[in-house]
Chain A
Amino acid sequence: MARFLLTRLGGVLVVMAIVAVLVFVLTRAAPGDPIAVLLGDQATAEDIARVQKVYGLDRPLPVQFGLWLRELAHGNLGESIFLQRPVTQALWERAEPTALLSLMAIAIAALIGVPCGIVSAVFRGKAIDQVFTGFAMLGASVPSFWFGLVLMQIFAVSLGWFPVSGYGEPGASLAARIHCLVLPATVLGVLNSALIIRFTRASMLDVLGEDYVRTARAKGLSENMVVLKHALRNALVPIVTVIGLTVALMIGGAVVTETVFGLPGVGNLVVSAVIRRDYPVIQGALLVVAVIYVVINFAIDLLYTVVDPRVRT
């Protein structure tokens, strides 16, 4: 097993290296000069050149890349051109709403998705299966911003149960923060449960057709035991995979939802950075997000060894 993990780790590192290159190339390849934007119309060529030197933007590209990597190794993501703050700090400040939102959304998505998928599989072909499958298809077709706006209109504006936008006052309690996140988390969670329902259903159907399920029934076990103990354990592997996949979808989905609900999160930060061409922030955010995603996938691989003993030996 150690061997298996080491090979996976190697692959992960290679991917991360490529990610770093991609991120750098992506941001540097852009037309448009952030310095000119920052300094405004009145800036002279000398002003621009001077500020460029400060940010190291006047050096040749490979040199810039090397410098950037060196800074990375020290944990330094550079400094935001527009926010006048280290990127790391900017990201950290914004991390909490995004993280909290993603956690709540995954919980909602899994709590809806897995049971519905199991029920769908067990009662395959019956009405309840059609309903859940239809719901899953629908969930994958609804734009999250639209769903957010509609829910906001109904529950925040009309019914007043939740704040329309924002993350609460500075210094607000955790409970207040969570209250602000209920609507956006519902939007993300419900829409992403669609994928989980489909995967859970497919995985359970596969497992329910296996011989050992027949053996379990032949032992005289109740249908509940057969499904929940014998079948589910085996179906977990793909289900856990898709929950991991969903995390990536969450991070992406958070971008839109944060904008709709005015949450000061990482997604919002990235959007404004892109509009303003704040390279360090774009780079830093992309890198961090990619790393998180890769790490989560690796963690899921680790989880496989716990869930499926065949992988261990």
Chain B
Amino acid sequence: MTAPASDLRPPPPQGGAASDPAEPVPRRPLAVPLVLRKLFRRRIVLGAAIVLALVVTLAVLAGLSGFDPNETAVSQRLSQPSSAHLLGTDELGRDLFARIAFGGRYSLTIALLTAVGSVLAGTLLGLVAGFFRRLDAPVMRVVDAMMSFPDILLAIALVGILGPSMLNVVLALVLVYTPRVARVVRASTLVVRELLFVEAARAVGVSTARILWRHVLPNLMSPILVQASFIFAYAILAEAALSFLGVGVPPEIPTWGTMVAGSQQYAHQALWIVLFPGLAIIVTALSLQLLGDGIRDLLDPRLRKSM
């Protein structure tokens, strides 16, 4: 059976010209970009990405399914994992698997917004501090001051002030993690600023804003991306801790942290109601960190020597 003609092969030459048998027929290369192939060269990074994709898919599906995570069925409270309830039920008879899937929506959203927000704010601060010499010291002193507080304490205080809500948790965490990003971006900006092509652009008369946008920023992409993935992971852990303490999202909203908070007094009877939400956090945070490591290795292979 002959292969169907496809646009991968050129049509056979007409006429008497003999095709050279030694010449390989050109094929279009596999559509997977080189970047992804290099990123996933380590199987563990690929595994992490797959796991992450699964978690996200689960969270999205939960939202679409119309299932109510707060629906109680007290008759079935604290039942062990079974075929009916994959991960068991909690103290109000709510299915744990569904709640975890739902919780993923909230936890992941909060963490994602935090990562995006702190990257944006931190990059802006870091660029300004790194590029404009006179602004460097004042901006970095403020950054240092903000980093003088332990993350959780600062987040607690901020949420305490702003009031418990999803938005405020995001805001508080953004304020907590922005200094981190600012430091990294500033360090990279300092290096890039001294590179010759920046000097060349200045000499030609390119405006500062344009230099920052077109020349400096693209070179910061790799450290920024790495930071973003780690902050995503930290934010998941931080939101869970805040919610657990009661100074995070309001307890009605089922994030992984509020789930553990609400159920902790039943832990001795039914450890799984605390165990599984925690495992969800661990798995997600771990995958994000592995992915961040993979991105870092990919974009800066020099670092691989010491990591």
Interface size bucket, A side? 35 or more
Determine the chain B residues whose CB is within 8 A of the CB of A152 once the complex forms: 267
CB-CB under 8 A for A255 and B158, given A15-B145, A18-B142, A271-B245:
no
Complex Cα distance, B48 from A141, in Å, reads 13
- Asked if residues A255 and B145 are in contact (CB atoms below 8 Å), the reply is no
Q: How far is the CA of A18 from the CA of B149 in the complex (A)?
A: 12
Pair A22/B145 contact, Cβ less than 8 Å = yes
Assess whether B246 is interfacial by the CB under 8 Å rule. yes
Judging by beta carbons under 8 Å apart, are B290 and A145 in contact? no
> Which residues of A from 152 to 183 have beta carbons under 8 Å from B?
152-153, 157
Contacts of B241 on A, CB cut-off 8 Å?
143-145, 256
Let me know if B306 and A205 touch, CB within 8 A.
yes
> Known contacts A141-B233, A270-B153, A286-B157; is A15 also within 8 Å of B144 by CB?
yes
Q: How far is the CA of A286 from the CA of B160 in the complex (A)?
A: 13
Interface residues of B in 200-249 (CB under 8 A from A): 233, 237, 240-241, 244-247
> Which of B23-31, B55-63, B190-198, B278-286 interfaces with chain A?
B278-286
B151: CB under 8 A from chain A?
Answer: yes
B159 to A, closest residue via Cβ: A274
Q: Judge whether B156 and A137 touch: CB under 8 Å.
A: no
The CB with the most chain B CB atoms within 10 A, among A29, A146, A253, A289, is that of: A146
Contact of B237 among A14, A141, A153, A255 (CB under 8 A): A141
User: In the complex, which residues of chain A have a beta carbon less than 8 angstroms from the beta carbon of B244?
Assistant: 143, 145, 256, 259
With a cutoff of 8 Å between Cβ atoms, the chain A residues found around residue B233 in the complex are: 140-141
Residues of A within 8 A of B274 (CB): 146, 149-150, 153
Digitize A124-158: 1 where CB-to-B-CB distance is under 8 Å, 0 elsewhere.
Answer: 00000000000001101111111101101100010
Across the interface, do A255 and B307 meet the contact criterion of CB distance under 8 Å? no
One digit per residue, 1 when the CB lies within 8 angstroms of any chain B CB and 0 when it does not, for chain A 9-49 equals: 00100111011001000110111100000000000000000
Binds B, one of A78-86, A88-96, A244-252: A244-252
**A275→B149 contact, CB < 8 A:** no
CB–CB A19/B278 < 8 A: no
Cβ of A282 under 8 Å from chain B: yes
Nearest-neighbor residue (CB-CB) of A158 within chain B? B268
Question: Could you tell me if A255 and B141 are in contact, using CB atoms closer than 8 angstroms?
Answer: no
User: Who on chain B is nearest to A297 by CB?
Assistant: B148
Contacts of A255 in B (CB 8 A): 150, 152-153, 156, 245
Report the bound CA distance from A143 to B284 in whole Å: 11
- Does any Cβ of B come within 8 Å of A216's Cβ? no
Residues from chain B with a CB closer than 8 A to the CB of A142 are 278, 281-282, 285
Q: B289, A286: Cβ atoms under 8 Å?
A: no
Nearest Cβ in chain A — how far from B304, in angstroms? 10
* 7 cross-chain CB contacts under 8 A: A18-B144, A30-B162, A252-B152, A286-B149, A293-B148, A293-B149, A294-B148
What are the 6 A-B residue pairs with the smallest beta carbon separation, nearest first? A252-B150, A274-B160, A146-B278, A30-B161, A141-B285, A18-B145
